[in-house]
Amino acid sequence: MAERDNEALRSIYRDDPEMAELIELFVGELPERVRALREFFDAGDLASLQRLAHQLRGASGGYGFEPLGFRAEQLESALKADADAEVVRKRVDELIALCSRVAA
């Protein structure tokens, strides 16, 4: 999936009145999730990291941020496959980078 580096990632549902409030909530809480991702990775708590990736994967599409779901899925797959620490780090970084581009 091609994503240009600095462009803001916006929800495909941003014009849907039924979703506006939820998208804002999701975006507002995203820094908290990023912090948790980082902490679980640094602490080597891979089970919690996988859980977080799994939830992000399941929810992102629902909020209209499919690329985010895709990145979360890549991290989840790497963890499921017991990938090297370096691969996991790369996936975490990619996911966090994309999170930072998410905008309401």
Partner 1 sequence: MPTTPQTSATILVIDDSPDIHRLMGARLRSEGWTILGASSGEEGIECAIAAPPNLIILDIDMPELDGFETLRRLKINPATLPVPVIVVSANTAPQDKVMGLELGAVDYVAKPFDFSELRARIRAALRTQRLLDMLAKRAHIDGLTGLWNRAHFDARFHELAAGAQRAGQPLSLAMCDLDRFKSINDTFGHPAGDVILQRFAEILSSIVRESDVACRFGGEEFVVILPGAIPEQAAEVMERVRAELREQRWTRHPERAVTASFGVAPVDERGAEAALAAADAALYVAKSSGRNRVVISGERAALRQAG
Interface residues with partner 1 (CB under 8 A)? 18-19, 21-22, 25-26, 51, 54-55, 57-63, 66, 69
Three-class secondary structure assignment of 2-61: CCCCCCCEECCCCCCCCCHHHHHHHHHHHHHHHHHHHHHHHCCCHHHHHHHHHHHHHHHH
Max CA distance (Å), the chain: 43
- Least distance between partner 1 and beta carbon 10 (Å): 17
- Least distance between partner 1 and beta carbon 43 (Å): 19
Q: Which is nearer to partner 1, 4 or 48 (CB)?
A: 48
- Least distance between partner 1 and beta carbon 9 (Å): 16
Based on C-alpha coordinates, what's the Rg of the chain?
13
Q: Which is nearer to partner 1, 59 or 96 (CB)?
A: 59
Q: Which is nearer to partner 1, 48 or 100 (CB)?
A: 48
